[in-house]
């Protein structure tokens, strides 16, 4: 698992398989990006009233690591195209849905 230093940055740690945790983090970011984009499309098909309320999350180490990868994924998505306010709202909801499912387990 990645470790965080005093500044909250991920430290590079070599695992027994010879890969670094930064590669694992990058893979997780790309995986989350794909999931967010898929969820975003699903959200575009819903009205605000049809959106399910999201559960509150406990502020755990796992959540912090997942949130870091999710923020990187959202940043990549935002760099790829321009969003209007409605689209940005949908992207935020999609990202919140993805992290909730990641932390609490997929439905």
- Domain residue spans in the chain? 57-107
Predicted confidence at residue 18, as pLDDT, reads 47
What pLDDT digit, counting tens, does each position of 5-59 carry?
444 444 444 444 545 567 777 888 899 999 999 999 999 999 989 998 988 888 8
Instruction: Report phi then psi at 27, rounded to 5.
Output: -60, -40
Q: Residues 99, 61: contact at Cβ < 8 Å?
A: no
Element (H, E) at 41: helix 21-44
Predicted confidence at residue 5, as pLDDT, reads 46
pLDDT surpasses 90 at 74: yes
**Is the entire prediction scored with pTM above 0.85?**
no
């Amino acid at each position: 698992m990645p470790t965080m230093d005093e500044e909250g940055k991920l430290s590079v740690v070599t695992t027994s398989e010879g890969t670094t945790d930064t590669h694992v983090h990058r893979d997780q970011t790309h995986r989350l990006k794909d999931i967010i984009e898929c969820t975003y499309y699903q959200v575009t098909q819903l009205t605000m009233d049809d959106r399910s309320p999201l559960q509150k999350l406990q502020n755990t180490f796992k959540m912090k690591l997942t949130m870091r990868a999710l923020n990187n994924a959202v940043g990549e998505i935002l760099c790829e195209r321009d969003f209007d306010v409605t689209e940005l709202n949908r992207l935020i909801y999609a990202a919140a849905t993805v992290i909730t499912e990641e932390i609490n387990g997929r439905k």
